[in-house]
């Protein structure tokens, strides 16, 4: 009994240390975003001054808007393509080069971002594509598609194959069986994949800076260029807003996936 | 006159074929069907006829190809060779939804996101039935499997037995010509399995639907099916009624797979009327009733079921002149296995072999029960023996 309680003290300590290591810097950043002082490192009392400053900063707002647009569209395209790839890989007939294909799909997971960014830049230059919103969106799609595919494929793998067979046995052709049975059951994974893609895209600095063009800087690029000239307290405010946004999105996503598994009946297009 | 009669018959025959298959034509005909996975021949040239209204069981150990054969009937696998005729039409390469066949899955495969009602209504809805008709059909199916009142439940809110019933109702809701059941009772506990066996048989009789059940449980197959096809290594080893399968197995393998059996290897010595005299390696000379001549050489096996071996202290009193009519083996009780309804004695024979005898415990207090190391005589008649190829 004593041994167990000592172990539990150790567990609490390590948990506190781990969480502190992860979240203390973020907590400090959030607190300092409400700092009234002009100096980042000196506490000057509570204030919303830097939030005012941010909403007055046209360039920053534009960069934030660009980031949201890129994240939403690249996440949507990546979810569509990644889901299709996952279905093809786990449900399709065993085609030649299947292993190679799945290996290639997952390569961006481990590929250094610099290489992905540089190769995409070379591609866009070779194609003579005008760099801007669409090039960043395409680049982020290639980055995040494999994450969606991994999430959806693992859900498909845990799904009983005979569910689809039962649907076909009861009168569905393969496509309708997928829509009526498989899709409602993998919907939580698809939603989770979209969220993951969205946050990854919102995060990304390296690939975006390779593939963006003049006048279409994303928020991370904008922040990075500001920081190079010295950290302004305004950056803290922006970061706090981004953290808040991501937290809200994740809470909504987990609620949605819980709801979709509980109320699958009405969601099922029968 | 004769010419006219023949014409009339021919005309009648044609008309008959046009409306429904001739009465002597089976509902399902499997012709030389084979399926290979890589280099593994899962189903190897199976031919089988199944009549309408039959309760047929495919029995075999795991990996014998019975499930693959069933999946080819359902349309989830396409045969590499052979034809599958349903009512005279080749359906070997038709898709699952194009066949008037439904299947009940081993895992039940209930749609977890749909209620019991919607699971059962899934098939009729796909068949394009109207809403009122679907409601009637669902109510009918719920009553059939005695699940009234559970319409709104989700599959994960049901017990194992209830899930099994929903799966059955869902598979029957389209009124298939043929119902396939893949190990339908494997997930139930013994008591529930036994009562469900009875209900399935009752249901099949009432509906008149043709059932094909796949099972590895020989007792289950024998209880429910009117005919059993035993499969081994992708081939049909024997198709017979339960009694024929048990009393007249065609090979050593079937005799050992279906029930318990004593097997004695030996050599054919001479024929005495309808009887063969066989010199066995470890049970002395046995006399066996067998009208046919052994075909391949003189080597053969004698099979005798344990419950047909009688035990006594002194041996049967045989009348003079009938002495060869009974096989008499002397030995010692080496092992006693009490099973409740019966007791299995293992008797070590003086000639070296071991014979198992299953004795019904017909009295509660049995003062005459044999004890360990007691000398006994095991005896059986020539009629109870079966001669099998070695």
Q: Are B102 and B110 spatial neighbours (Cβ–Cβ below 8 Å)?
A: no
Helix A233-262, helix A183-203: angle, nearest 10 = 180
**β-strands B210-215, B55-59 pairing:** parallel
Residue range B196-241, pLDDT digits in tens: 999 999 999 999 999 999 999 999 999 999 999 999 999 999 999 9
- For residue B210, give the nearest of B86, B105, B124 by alpha carbon: B86
- What's the rounded Cα separation, in Å, for the pair B64 and A175? 32
Binary contact (A168, B125; C-beta < 8 A): no
- The verdict on A93 touching B (C-beta cutoff 8 Å) is no
- The verdict on B129 touching A (C-beta cutoff 8 Å) is no
Binary contact (A264, B127; C-beta < 8 A): no
Q: Which of B67, B94, B99, B122 to mutate to test the interface with A (most CBs of A within 10 A)?
A: B122
Calculate how close chain A gets to B119, using CA atoms only, in Å.
Answer: 10
Name the residue among A172, A185, A270 with its Cβ closest to that of B97: A172
Name the residue among B111, B125, B171 with its Cβ closest to that of A163: B111
Residue range B144-198, pLDDT digits in tens: 999 988 999 999 999 989 999 999 999 999 999 999 999 999 888 888 898 899 9
Binary contact (A185, B113; C-beta < 8 A): yes
Q: Are A60 and A222 spatial neighbours (Cβ–Cβ below 8 Å)?
A: yes
Name the residue among B102, B105, B118 with its Cβ closest to that of A265: B118
- The verdict on B95 touching A (C-beta cutoff 8 Å) is yes
CA distances from B285 to A264, B270, B384 (A): 72, 11, 15
Binary contact (B97, A181; C-beta < 8 A): no
- What's the rounded Cα separation, in Å, for the pair B59 and B61? 7
Confidence check on the interface: ipTM exceeds 0.90, yes or no:
no
- What's the rounded Cα separation, in Å, for the pair B113 and A264? 5
Q: Is pLDDT above 50 for B303?
A: yes
Residue range B69-111, pLDDT digits in tens: 999 999 999 999 999 999 889 999 999 999 999 999 999 999 9
Contact residues on chain B for A176, CB-CB shorter than 8 A: 126
- The verdict on B248 touching A (C-beta cutoff 8 Å) is no
Average per-residue pLDDT for chain B:
87
* DSSP structural state of residue B325: G
Instruction: Give bridge partners of residue A214 from the DSSP assignment.
Output: none
pLDDT at A262: 52
To 5 degrees, how large is the angle CA A182–CA A186–CA A192? Answer: 165
Q: Is pLDDT above 70 for B13?
A: no
pLDDT at A8: 80
- What's the rounded Cα separation, in Å, for the pair B188 and B210? 23
Tell which B residues from 150 to 179 touch A, by Cβ distance under 8 Å.
Answer: 154, 170-171, 174
Binary contact (B96, A270; C-beta < 8 A): no
Structural domains of chain B sorted by starting position, each given as residue range(s) with its CATH number in brackets: 25-247 (3.40.50.300), 261-388 (2.40.50.140)
Nearest CA in chain A to B121: A170
- The verdict on A186 touching B (C-beta cutoff 8 Å) is no
Binary contact (B174, A165; C-beta < 8 A): no
Calculate how close chain A gets to B168, using CA atoms only, in Å.
Answer: 12
Q: For chain A, list residues with pLDDT below 50.
A: 1-3, 263-270
- For residue A197, give the nearest of A76, A61, A68, A30 by alpha carbon: A76
Residue range B366-377, pLDDT digits in tens: 777 899 999 999
pLDDT at B2: 44
Contact residues on chain A for B76, CB-CB shorter than 8 A: 165, 168
- What's the rounded Cα separation, in Å, for the pair A184 and B353? 63
Sorted by where each begins, the domain ranges of chain A are 58-267
Percent of chain B whose pLDDT exceeds 70: 89
Binary contact (B95, A184; C-beta < 8 A): no
pLDDT at A270: 32
Fold of domain A58-267: MetI-like fold (1.10.3720)
Name the residue among B74, B109, B115 with its Cβ closest to that of A265: B115
Binary contact (B170, A185; C-beta < 8 A): no
Distance between start and end Cα atoms, chain B: 58
Q: Are B130 and B143 spatial neighbours (Cβ–Cβ below 8 Å)?
A: no
- The average pLDDT across B268-287 equals 85
Question: Which tokens is A46 given?
Answer: 């509570």
* DSSP structural state of residue B75: T
Question: Which tokens is B204 given?
Answer: 């099949």
Calculate how close chain B gets to A170, using CA atoms only, in Å.
Answer: 5
DSSP 3-state of B6 = helix
Q: Is pLDDT above 80 for B10?
A: no
Nearest CA in chain B to A183: B113
Q: Is pLDDT above 90 for B283?
A: no
Q: How sure is the predictor about B296, in pLDDT bands with cuts at 50, 70 and 90?
A: low
Contact residues on chain A for B179, CB-CB shorter than 8 A: none
pLDDT at A93: 66
pLDDT at A88: 86
pLDDT at B11: 44
DSSP H or E stretch at residue A14:
helix A2-33
pLDDT at B132: 93
């Amino acid at each position: 009994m004593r041994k167990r309680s000592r172990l539990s003290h150790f567990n609490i300590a390590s948990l506190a240390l781990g969480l502190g290591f992860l979240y203390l810097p973020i907590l400090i950043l959030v607190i300092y975003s409400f700092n009234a002082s002009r100096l980042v490192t000196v506490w000057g009392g509570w204030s919303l001054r830097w939030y005012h400053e941010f909403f007055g900063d046209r360039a920053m707002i534009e960069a934030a808007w660009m980031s949201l647009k890129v994240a939403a569209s690249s996440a949507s395209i990546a979810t569509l393509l990644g889901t299709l790839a996952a279905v093809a890989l786990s449900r399709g007939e065993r085609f030649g080069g299947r292993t190679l294909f799945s290996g290639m799909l997952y390569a961006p997971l481990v590929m250094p971002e610099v290489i992905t960014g540089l190769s995409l830049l070379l591609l866009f230059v070779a194609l003579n594509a005008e760099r801007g919103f669409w090039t960043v969106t395409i680049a982020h799609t290639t980055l995040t598609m494999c994450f969606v595919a991994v999430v959806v494929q693992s859900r498909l793998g845990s799904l009983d194959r005979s569910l689809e067979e039962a649907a076909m046995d009861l009168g569905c052709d393969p496509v309708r069986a997928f829509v009526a049975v498989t899709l409602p059951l993998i919907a939580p994974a698809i939603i989770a994949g979209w969220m993951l893609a969205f946050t990854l895209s919102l995060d990304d600095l390296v690939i975006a800076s390779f593939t963006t063009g003049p006048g279409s800087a994303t928020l991370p690029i904008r922040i990075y260029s500001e920081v190079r000239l010295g950290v302004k307290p305004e950056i803290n405010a922006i970061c706090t807003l981004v953290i808040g946004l991501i937290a809200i999105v994740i809470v909504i996503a987990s609620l949605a996936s819980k709801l979709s598994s509980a109320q699958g009946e009405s969601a099922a297009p029968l | 006159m004769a010419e006219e009669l023949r014409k009339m018959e021919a005309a009648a025959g044609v008309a008959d074929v046009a409306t429904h298959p001739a009465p002597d034509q089976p509902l399902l005909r499997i012709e030389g069907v084979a399926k290979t996975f890589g280099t593994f021949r899962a189903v190897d040239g199976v031919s089988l006829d199944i009549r309408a209204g039959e309760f047929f069981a495919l029995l075999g150990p795991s990996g014998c190809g019975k499930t693959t054969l069933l999946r080819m009937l359902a349309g989830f696998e396409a045969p590499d060779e052979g034809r599958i005729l349903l009512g005279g039409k080749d359906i070997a390469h038709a898709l699952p939804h194009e066949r008037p066949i439904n299947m009940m899955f081993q895992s039940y495969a209930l749609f977890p996101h749909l209620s019991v009602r919607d699971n059962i209504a899934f098939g009729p809805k796909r068949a394009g039935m109207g809403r009122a008709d679907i409601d009637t059909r669902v109510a009918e199916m719920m009553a059939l499997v005695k699940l009234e009142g559970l319409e709104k439940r989700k599959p994960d809110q049901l017990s194992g037995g209830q899930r099994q019933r929903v799966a059955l109702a869902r598979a029957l809701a389209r009124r298939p010509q043929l119902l396939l059941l893949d190990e339908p009772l494997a997930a139930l506990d013994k008591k529930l399995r036994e009562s469900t066996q009875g209900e399935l048989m009752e249901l099949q009789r009432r509906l008149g639907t043709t059932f094909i059940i796949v099972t590895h449980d020989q007792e289950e197959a024998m209880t429910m099916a009117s005919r059993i096809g035993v499969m081994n290594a992708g081939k049909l080893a024997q198709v017979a009624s339960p009694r024929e399968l048990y009393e007249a197995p065609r090979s050593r393998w079937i005799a050992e797979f279906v029930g318990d059996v004593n097997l004695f290897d030996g050599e054919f010595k001479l024929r005495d009327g309808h009887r063969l005299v066989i010199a066995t390696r470890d049970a002395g000379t046995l006399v066996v009733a067998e009208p046919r001549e052994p075909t391949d050489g003189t080597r053969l096996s004698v099979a005798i079921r344990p419950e047909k071996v009688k035990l006594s202290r002194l041996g049967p009193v045989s009348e003079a002149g009938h002495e060869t009519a009974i096989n008499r083996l002397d030995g010692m009780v080496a092992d006693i296995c009490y099973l409740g309804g019966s007791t299995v004695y293992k008797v070590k024979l003086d000639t070296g072999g071991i014979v198992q005898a299953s004795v019904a415990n017909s009295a509660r207090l049995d003062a005459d029960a044999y004890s360990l190391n007691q000398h006994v005589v095991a005896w059986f008649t020539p009629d109870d023996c079966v001669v099998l190829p070695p």
